Amino acid sequence: MPFHSLRRLGARALSSVRRLFARDRTPEERYRDFNGRYFSGFYEQERMLADKPRMEFYRAAIQRHIQPGDRVVDLGTGTGILAALASRRGAAQVYAIDHSSILETARTLATANRIDRVEFVATHSTEFHLAEPVDVILHEQMGDCLFDEAMVANVCDLRDRLLKPGGLILPSCFEFYCEPIKVRDSRHVPFIWELEVHGYDYSVLERQRPQDPDYYQVRSSDLALVEHCLGEPAPVLTLDLHTVNEADLPHEIRFTRTVIHPGRLDGYAVYFRALVDRDLALGSGPLDPGRAPHWGFRILRTDRDDFERGDIIDVRLTVGSWSEVDTWRWSHVKRARADAGVAPASCLPT
């Protein structure tokens, strides 16, 4: 057999083996690998470190709530910044753990900055064990959609195994938002079947709605995209990591907005707020003043619908797995002021 055919055979065999392994891996395992690689370089770390509202939020939270003498786990230490702040606050011992190769950088930085009482451990949190429980779990595990970096599973696992009764999780209280929004006209991109371009009609393509859940989401950190929320923003879910269990999170959320800013509904902006004290919170909402800029937000796209002031939007969000946004589905029903029901507008094909 000629050499080039052998090579092609080898490449094919290799890709079949890869596919086999890819199939064998759970979504959690695949996400774990992705996360470890994603945070291994300097770029993501520097974006987080340069996010002033984020860093000020954590500095104040640590200053107020970590007591001298505390034993602390820093879940996902990255460059070690939160572990260093905890140590400077007087923590007796900080275990700074990370499953990414960025941990080597954290070690270098701690030595260069003469940080002591921090033990760096290269491991995934689920494989981290201690003989004695700790006083505080410190973490920054919030994804753009709050849940998409497996925060609930990872923090709750450590809490149940390693946190003292009455111990502290910092931060622990979260608000999850899913707000009906209008995108600025100049930036609005309708679904292709909603288009007519110079008299050329695309509506026939509605029969070919893509099955790919990704198509129905826009990832953005561009604040100029969102013009306004149609209603008054309010959290659609709140949770406290001290008490929540992943299994208790609802698989369906229904909520209502009364339209105060009439116009087109383009989708739902997904974002979060973390709360430590009444005067200490961190927000990622596209319209939040003082938002933490390095977080993006997600827009869950909807079929075009127009609302008048006073109309009611009844929204239903169903969730297969909170950490996998691809399993989320959403639909709404419009109730005019006269309370007339209208058929639900579903986005994804059923």
Ligand X SMILES: C[S@@+](CC[C@H](N)C(=O)[O-])C[C@H]1O[C@@H](n2cnc3c(N)ncnc32)[C@H](O)[C@@H]1O
Joined together, the tokens standing for residue 182 give 């209008």
| Smaller CB separation from ligand X, 98 or 266 | 98
Contact predicate 90/68, CB 8 Å: yes
x-or-dash string of contact with ligand X, 138-177, rule CB under 6 A = --x-------------x-----------------------
By the rule CB under 6 A, 35 interacts with ligand X: yes
Taking the complex as a whole, how short is the minimal distance between the CB of residue 296 and ligand X, in angstroms?
13
x-or-dash string of contact with ligand X, 36-75, rule CB under 6 A = x--x--------x---------------------------
Q: How far is the C-alpha of 190 from the C-alpha of 133, rounded, in Å? A: 53
By the rule CB under 6 A, 121 interacts with ligand X: no
Joined together, the tokens standing for residue 324 give 């996998």
- Secondary structure (3-state) at 295: coil
Residue 183: its H or E element = strand 173-183
Return phi, psi of residue 62, to 5°.
-70, -45
By the rule CB under 6 A, 87 interacts with ligand X: no
Q: How far is the C-alpha of 44 from the C-alpha of 323, rounded, in Å? A: 20
Identified binder of ligand X from the candidate list 47, 88, 124, 335, rule CB under 6 A: 124
Joined together, the tokens standing for residue 101 give 């190769």
x-or-dash string of contact with ligand X, 286-305, rule CB under 6 A = --------------------
| Smaller CB separation from ligand X, 76 or 167 | 76
Chain centre to alpha carbon of residue 75: 16
Taking the complex as a whole, how short is the minimal distance between the CB of residue 36 and ligand X, in angstroms?
6
Neighbours of 111 (CB within 10 A): 10
Neighbours of 164 (CB within 10 A): 13
- Which of 78-86, 250-258, 311-319, 330-338 is the region at the interface with ligand X (rule: CB under 6 A)? 78-86
Identified binder of ligand X from the candidate list 61, 77, 120, 169, rule CB under 6 A: 77
For residue 7, give Cα distances in angstroms to 2, 10, 17, 18. 9, 5, 15, 16
Binding residues vs ligand X (CB under 6 A): 35-36, 39, 48, 76-79, 81-82, 97-100, 102, 124-125, 140, 154
